[in-house]
Chain A
Amino acid sequence: MSSQPAWVPRKRRGAEFFLTILAVAIGITAYCAVGLGTKGTIPAGVAKLAAALIVFAVVAHLVVRRVAPYADPVLLPLVICLNGLGLAMIYRLDLGRTQLDPDRAQFANSQLIWTVIGIVAFAVVLFVVRDHRRLQALTYTFGFAAIVLLMMPLLPFIGRTINGARIWINLGPFSFQPGEAAKICLAIFFAGYLVVKRDALALAGRRIAGIDLPRGRDLGPILAGWLVSVGILVFQRDLGSSLLFFGLFVVMLYVATERPGWLVVGGLLFAGGAWFGYLAFSHVQVRFEAWLDPFADPDRNGQIINGLFGLAHGGILGRGWGQGSPQLTPFSFSDFIAASMGEELGLTGLMAILLIYGLIVERGLRIALTCRDAFGKLLAAGLAFSFALQVFVVVGGVTRLIPLTGLTTPFMAQGGSSVVMNWAIIALLLRISDQTRRPAPEISTFDSDEETQVVKLT
């Protein structure tokens, strides 16, 4: 055993700091541009926003520097950039929507507060979870928590139905989507569960047409996951979350077992569930028809049509901050924020935003690849993939690539639970990445060991 020179990864915290400042600058510039575009002046609240963004971005950076010094240096600036752009767009939509109707609710301030809470949550996760492998011990706790969180909107008194989907709960003055938190809990649960069971799920089975199909008795977990997803669809009328949770589970199952057969089984179950949903629920049919031909019923499909009009109006270079009319689209500040971005920043801007999302996913999967423990690998892969799937489903829905389903656009869409939980996801990814890239603890080697070596290895 020759002693190799230990590879010590560079921390690159300086690069992270520089990129963070750049990302904050993008957000603040966007905010100023909104004011210039709508009123011709730099908005009065810019100092407040700039101060909050700079202080909390720097705090987030310092937290990473302190407790996760080897973490990936690109993730934090990427999400700060997205978050800043989202804040500017929500502020811009507040202005536009009040112009249409002075009584419309304003979201910019609360979104800024939620962003701050999100960064605090980010710091808390990094401080509390010093080693992600500890989470594995709490596998079933997280599984239980996920089920409780998923059930909460169905409870009387606190559960609320908004726009046909029963996915909200009331916490005092705030409403919260527990599904966002459930996503993280489920990812941890799946990772912990599959690490233990993967051998059983991977080894037994029979081979049909070149694909290893699992045994019938091993289908239990995937059927359970499928039933939970169908349950979400049936009881909460939430197509997007249903798709997201099932996709997350199937993919983690595939990664854990390395058997594409699970994808086949999952795909078939998904097709069955989708078919059932289409037949059973009129709103699924409406969404599907709106996707096939939105202009067949312009009144009913006004939202998707408006989103498309906005994108087309933006064209290649966009209208510019504050100079389009994204406020004409219903829910332009949440579900349709991608269309709002496309209208004001154009094809160019929207492609840049998608690339930022793509980079986040890429960094997440890279963390999964380099991670040394199975639990961390699975968790990082699951979180990164769920992030990708979520972006695909919501942006694809808004731009009519796939039928529209309600999911939030991570870091940009208005909504507290989404922002906070996505910050927590980034914290988890950074934690795993820190563990991965951290140099192995020094193990003192004794020269005398050489003499006791019985079998020469090299």
Chain B
Amino acid sequence: MNRPIRYLAVACLVMFVALLANINYVQFVQADSLNDKNGNKRVINEEFSRDRGAILVGDEPVAESVPSKDEFRFQRKYTDGRLYAPVTGYFSYIFGRGGLENSQNRVLSGSDNRLFVNRVVDLISNKKPKGGSVETTLNPLAQKVAASGLEALGEDTKGAVVAIDPSTGAILAMVSQPSYNPNVLASHDFSEVEDDWRRLTGDEDQPMLNRGTQQILPPGSTFKLVTAAAALENLDLDPDDMVKAGRTLSFPGISYELTNLDNGTCGGNRITFEKALMVSCNVSFGDLAGKVGQDDMTAQARKFGFGTDALSGLAANPSRFTAEGTDLEAPQLAQSGIGQFEVATTPLQMAMVAGAIANGGDVMRPHIVKTLRAPNLRVLDETEPERLSQAMSSSNAAQLTSMMVKTVNSGTATSARIPGIDVGGKTGTAQSTADRPPYAWFVSVAPADDPKVAVAVVVESSSTARSEIAGGRLSGPIARSVMEAVLGK
């Protein structure tokens, strides 16, 4: 009977080796991903009682841990919580983390591998570990100006403002309204936290949605910049070339006709390409989109960053030219060319479009984290500007930039004019369903020759009467004040 017993011994060995291998897998290989799971109370307990690092805007902390007298020892405190909530996110015992609190958790909590030496030193000197800090790219003044601009439109206005530095991709302002107060979610009074969470998640207006990066809406006429770029690149068009205009664009065999805003004529049946952008002529751009064709339009949009989520650190949704797999009919392609039908973008994406045009066609990767620092302020990581793609040739980009400047100087986007500075811009008013007001868009970039800031503003709905809504009137002044804030005017 010894032979089977020997085999049995081998079988037992296999079982124990399997157990040992498996715990190595769970406790070593899988450990980090398990520790990162939301709802892991052990990690939350530990992190809650840790001196968590700060999230900085400029030199000022907008999220920091201050000592508290209860069992957790520290309380997360947000200065201007509502203003920065779309970026900082929240840090809740029950509901986990959001925003940078979530994506930069390793550094903030001090568990990042780059802080290993600090941890060892803390361990040896018997100190509690401290978290590192996250410095954002935000410009506090631009952020405040953007928020007060949206607030001025009324309490129940929904909208977002995103400003970026076109030459680096750094996000300078990211405001979403309505917002929420992360201080309440970080409270150690858990019943209060639960009530607030239920209220926030049940709210139809979705205050916890970051409208700057997560919500895609039809961009309306601001999308004509993409169509214009595609026309310049593919149709060998010059700003002075004549394009089709007039009251309507009709399609053979179909009764539908594409019209202009307020049934205008754009100033003639043939106008210059430049004029078409300045007056935001639907007929011209519908026609141009048809000439470029769906494939090249899609490709152009993709070059600007549509279809990808290039932003790391914050939840973001990719923008789209068409829904997955849609084959556009001629009228639909024309509608798409003016930012309707299935076109839907985030404000961040539209700021990237405007910025890339003024930046010689180079799309820079957007980023929100400037530097990560250890508790002793040693720099752990610094985000380097990175070119995402070349959306158009620099000569075409220069032509389109000057067309945008003319649109601001004497076209539909005059509300963004800043004395002494060349500003390029484009308005947009996108139709949604009949029972809700249209989306008022505005994108702009300044200075046009050496871009420092590109802004996209969208106002989703407002108490302002429906007829008054036009991108230029509602969103333009906000974009201008943000640009002025960044440029120090």
Contact = CB atoms under 8 A, between A and B. Distances in A.
Nearest to A380: B5
A365 B27 contact: no
B5 A365 contact: yes
Nearest to A198: B1
B18 A401 contact: yes
Contact of A354 (B4, B20, B30, B42): B20
A346 to B, nearest CB: 7
A315 B32 CA distance: 9
Given A258-B1, A313-B35, A392-B15, A251 B23 contact: no
Contact of B5 (A342, A381, A396, A399): A381
Interface stretch (A62-70, A166-174, A356-364): A356-364
A341 B336 CA distance: 61
B43 A313 contact: yes
A111 B16 CA distance: 27
Contacts of A378: 1
B27 A315 contact: yes
Secondary structure class of chain B's binding surface, majority of residues: helix
A346 B27 contact: yes
B313 to A, nearest CB: 24
**Which of A313, A361, A368 is packed against the most chain B CB atoms within 10 Å?**
A313
Nearest to A396: B19
Contacts of B15: 388-389, 391-392, 396
A252 to B, nearest CB: 10
A311 B29 CA distance: 11
A312 interface: yes
Given A325-B41, A328-B41, A399 B26 contact: yes
A347 B23 contact: yes
A180 B410 CA distance: 91
A234 B15 CA distance: 27
B22 A399 contact: yes
A347 B5 contact: no
B19 A401 contact: yes
B27 A347 contact: yes
Given A254-B4, A255-B4, A365-B9, A395 B27 contact: no
Given A309-B37, A395-B19, A342 B9 contact: no
A79 B483 CA distance: 75
Of the candidates A251, A256, A312, the one having the most CB atoms from chain B within 10 angstroms of its own CB is A312
Interface string A292-320: 00010010000000001111111110000
B293 to A, nearest CB: 44
Interface in A222-254: 251, 254
Contacts of B41: 309, 325, 328
Interface string B1-45: 111111011001101101110111011101110110101111101
A312 B8 CA distance: 32
A342 B18 contact: no
Size class of B's contact patch? 20 to 34
Contact of B27 (A314, A362, A401): A314
Contacts of A389: 15
Nearest to B14: A392
Contacts, number: 124
A385 interface: yes
B9 A312 contact: no
B40 to A, nearest CB: 5
A264 interface: no
Interface string A366-390: 0011000010011001001100110
Interface in A329-367: 342-343, 346-347, 350-351, 354-355, 357-358, 361-362, 365
Contact of B42 (A325, A351, A361, A381): A325
A361 B12 contact: yes
Nearest to B43: A313
Interface in B29-88: 30-32, 34-35, 37, 39-43, 45-46
A348 to B, nearest CB: 9
Interface string B79-106: 0000000000000000000000000000
A355 B24 CA distance: 14
Contact of B19 (A314, A324, A392): A392
Contacts of A369: 2, 5-6
A315 B31 contact: yes
Nearest to B6: A369
B5 A377 contact: yes
Contacts of A310: 42
25 contacts: A309-B37, A311-B31, A312-B34, A313-B31, A313-B35, A313-B42, A315-B27, A316-B28, A324-B42, A342-B23, A350-B27, A351-B20, A354-B16, A357-B16, A358-B16, A361-B12, A362-B9, A365-B12, A369-B2, A381-B1, A385-B8, A388-B12, A399-B19, A399-B26, A401-B19
Given A311-B34, A313-B46, A381-B8, 15 more contacts: A255-B4, A308-B26, A308-B34, A309-B42, A313-B42, A314-B27, A325-B45, A342-B23, A361-B12, A365-B12, A388-B16, A391-B15, A396-B15, A396-B19, A400-B22
Interface of B: 1-6, 8-9, 12-13, 15-16, 18-20, 22-24, 26-28, 30-32, 34-35, 37, 39-43, 45-46
Q: Report the 5 A-B pairs with minimum CB-CB distance, sorted nearest first.
A: A312-B34, A347-B27, A312-B31, A401-B22, A392-B15
